[in-house]
């Protein structure tokens, strides 16, 4: 299995990055660290207004081709659902890679990591309860190495036993309440709903949506592994993160905040997912709620979080599911008894 890094080094083409922003900066740093220099940056025609990025003039694809010929393309942003067709069409026109660098933290899963941690990876694979989860896991590891969008496999089905559980539903990283509302509507009779959202703008949307459900409680706080105060830094798009800067907000543990029995927990905490799990360890171990946790925010979440779930929820069935996303965002591990 040849890595996209080696293919870029050996292709004999100029390398151009498709996109701007934080993602492009991270990818360019990563490529530079492997000795790959960028010839230029381009964007979709509607986003080109004569601007510069990192000292390079932002080009249209046609302008980049006029300057660099049949260049190799490395994408630096994410697309979901039908919009993924933009990348698929690009991949038909030229050598195209969509690296799966994690949104938070440093490092990535690459071939040396896979070889070094082969026993651990095999252990994780053995945990999954169905063949689709194993197929998805294999495809994600291969994609981490190749950055070839043709290697991605999608299974967005919901494992049996996720909806309709007795007890409260806890939604960490509730955004605008879309997941909490889906859980309420698909579960029929539902206990209390605790929806945690640290971002002030998203919290306002969350409260508006949840106002129609009397059993829902919206909480403007960050969940983690301690109770107290933290700082929240607003990111671009939907995301944000706790940090040493930003607005001061409350930080809570699920174990100490939610006093009633919990039936299900969803965690999408922008890189703090494992900390949220640690702050819910007593609830998870003693009450055996179903758990759905993001495994794509940090480099090793795909490996470490399923292992954590298996150890803290003995007897649970572990699944892996994802949405159609390029690169491989919105990947979740489930633990269901």
Distance CA(110)–CA(132), nearest Å, equals 22
- pLDDT tens-digit map of 19-43: 999 999 999 999 999 999 999 999 9
Q: How many domains does the chain have?
A: 2
Per-residue model confidence (pLDDT) at position 238: 44
Q: Are residues 88 and 195 in the same domain?
A: no
Q: Does residue 259 sit within a domain? A: yes
- pLDDT tens-digit map of 50-62: 999 999 999 999 9
Mean pLDDT over residues 225-249, rounded? 71
Cβ atoms of 295 and 104 closer than 8 Å: no
Could you give the C-alpha distances from 220 to 172, 173, 195, in angstroms and in order? 11, 10, 9
Distance CA(211)–CA(209), nearest Å, equals 6
Residues 6+ apart with CB under 8 A from 104: 241, 270, 271, 297, 298
- pLDDT tens-digit map of 185-204: 999 867 899 999 999 999 99
The last residue of one of the domains, among 57, 78, 99, is: 99
Q: Are residues 174 and 273 in the same domain?
A: yes
Mean pLDDT over residues 121-145, rounded? 98
Q: Are residues 172 and 284 in the same domain?
A: yes
The last residue of one of the domains, among 249, 268, 288, is: 288
Q: Are residues 189 and 269 in the same domain?
A: yes
Q: Are residues 91 and 177 in the same domain?
A: no
Q: Does residue 225 sit within a domain? A: yes
Q: Are residues 193 and 274 in the same domain?
A: yes
CATH number at residue 27: 3.40.50.20
Please state, rounded to an integer, the average pLDDT across all residues of the chain.
94
- Burial environment of residue 154 by CB neighbours within 10 A (0 to 12, 13 to 18, 19 or more): middle
Phi and psi at residue 74, to the nearest 5°: -120, 115
Cβ atoms of 18 and 73 closer than 8 Å: yes
Per-residue model confidence (pLDDT) at position 237: 45
Asked if residue 129 has pLDDT above 50, the reply is yes
Smallest CA-to-CA distance from 186 within 216, 210, 162 is with 162
Q: What DSSP element (H or E) covers 40?
A: strand 40-42
Give CA angle at 151 (78, 126), nearest 5°: 105
Q: Does residue 47 sit within a domain? A: yes
Q: Does residue 253 sit within a domain? A: yes
CATH number at residue 233: 3.40.50.150
Q: Does residue 332 sit within a domain? A: no
Q: Does residue 86 sit within a domain? A: yes
Phi and psi at residue 162, to the nearest 5°: -75, -50
- Burial environment of residue 234 by CB neighbours within 10 A (0 to 12, 13 to 18, 19 or more): middle
Per-residue model confidence (pLDDT) at position 188: 82
The alpha carbon of 273 is separated from its chain's Cα centroid by a whole number of angstroms, namely: 10
Host domain of residue 239: 168-288
In the structure encoding, which two tokens stand for residue 190, read together?
A: 């539902």
Distance CA(99)–CA(132), nearest Å, equals 23
Residues 6+ apart with CB under 8 A from 41: 16, 17, 18, 19, 20, 24, 53, 54, 56, 57, 58, 59
Q: Are residues 173 and 274 in the same domain?
A: yes
pTM, entire model: 0.93
Could you give the C-alpha distances from 107 to 4, 112, 134, in angstroms and in order? 16, 12, 23
């Amino acid at each position: 299995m040849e890595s996209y890094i080696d293919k870029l080094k050996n292709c004999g083409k100029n390398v151009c990055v498709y996109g701007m922003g934080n993602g492009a900066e991270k990818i360019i740093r990563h490529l530079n660290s492997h000795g790959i220099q960028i010839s230029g940056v381009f964007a979709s025609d509607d986003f080109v207004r004569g601007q510069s990025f990192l000292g390079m003039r932002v080009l249209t694809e046609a302008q980049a081709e006029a300057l660099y010929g049949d260049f190799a393309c490395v994408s630096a942003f994410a697309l979901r659902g039908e919009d993924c067709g933009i990348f698929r069409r690009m991949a038909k026109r030229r050598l195209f890679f969509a690296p799966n660098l994690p949104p938070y933290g440093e490092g990535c899963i690459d071939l040396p990591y896979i070889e070094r941690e082969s026993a651990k990876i095999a252990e994780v694979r053995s945990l999954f309860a169905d063949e689709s989860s194993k197929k998805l896991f294999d495809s994600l590891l291969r994609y981490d190495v190749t950055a070839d969008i043709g290697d991605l496999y999608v299974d967005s089905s919901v494992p049996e036993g996720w909806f309709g559980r007795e007890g409260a539903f806890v939604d960490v990283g509730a955004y605008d309440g879309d997941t909490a509302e889906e859980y309420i509507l698909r579960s029929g009779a539902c206990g209390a709903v605790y929806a945690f959202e640290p971002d002030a703008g998203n919290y306002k949307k969350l409260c508006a949506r949840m106002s129609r459900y009397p059993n829902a409680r919206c909480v403007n706080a960050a969940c983690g592994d301690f109770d107290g105060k933290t700082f929240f830094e607003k990111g671009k798009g939907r995301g944000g993160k706790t940090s040493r800067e930003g607005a001061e907000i409350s930080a809570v543990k699920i174990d100490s905040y939610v006093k009633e029995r919990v039936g299900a927990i969803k965690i999408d905490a922008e890189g703090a997912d494992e900390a949220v799990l640690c702050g819910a360890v007593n609830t998870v171990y003693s009450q055996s709620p179903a758990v759905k946790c993001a495994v794509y925010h940090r480099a090793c979440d795909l490996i470490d979080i399923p292992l954590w779930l298996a150890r803290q929820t003995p007897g649970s069935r572990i699944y892996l599911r994802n949405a159609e996303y390029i690169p491989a965002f919105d990947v979740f591990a489930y633990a269901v008894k």
